[in-house]
Amino acid sequence: NDMTQDSAGKVYVSDMLADTIYRIDGDKPEPFIKDALLASPNGVFADGDRLIVASWGKGINRKNFSTAEPGGLLSVDLATRKITPLPGAQSFADLDGVVAIGDT
């Protein structure tokens, strides 16, 4: 549903209905991370050694895209693939794209 490119040229694409982020290195797409903690990943933004992920929310209804729980912003470490919720950026509903404004 969204895509971003890291400094090495690798492209990351979110699949919100599969709780998956794919990585494309050259012409080869592969699942980078699949985890229910991604909570319907929608927006993605490469930020140095991590991805910032905007989750739509947990328990997505495929008919109307409502969720049982609201989404939030997550950090995914590109080296370890560890998912960390960003403090103060949880419990938002239906998050979409991600963009950086300033350096914080």
| Residue 90 domain flag | no
| Residue 97 domain flag | no
| Residue 29 domain flag | yes
Q: So what's the pLDDT on residue 67?
A: 87
Which CATH number is 25's domain given? Answer: 2.40.10
Bridge partners (DSSP) listed for residue 41: 55
| Residue 47 domain flag | yes
Amino acid occupying residue 44 = V
**What is the rounded CA–CA span in Å between residue 39 and residue 36?**
6
| Residue 98 domain flag | no
| Residue 58 domain flag | yes
Q: What is the pLDDT of residues 91-102, one digit of tens each?
A: 776 667 777 777
Supply the range of the domain harboring residue 39: 3-85
**What is the rounded CA–CA span in Å between residue 95 and residue 81?**
21
The pTM score is 0.88
Q: What is the pLDDT of residues 17-37, one digit of tens each?
A: 999 999 999 888 999 999 999
Q: How far is CA 40 from CA 13, 21, 45, 90, in A?
A: 12, 10, 15, 14
User: Domain count of the chain?
Assistant: 1
Q: So what's the pLDDT on residue 103?
A: 67
- Pairing type for strands 50-55 and 57-58 reads unpaired
| Residue 9 domain flag | yes
Q: So what's the pLDDT on residue 95?
A: 67
Q: What is the pLDDT of residues 59-85, one digit of tens each?
A: 888 899 888 888 899 999 999 999 999
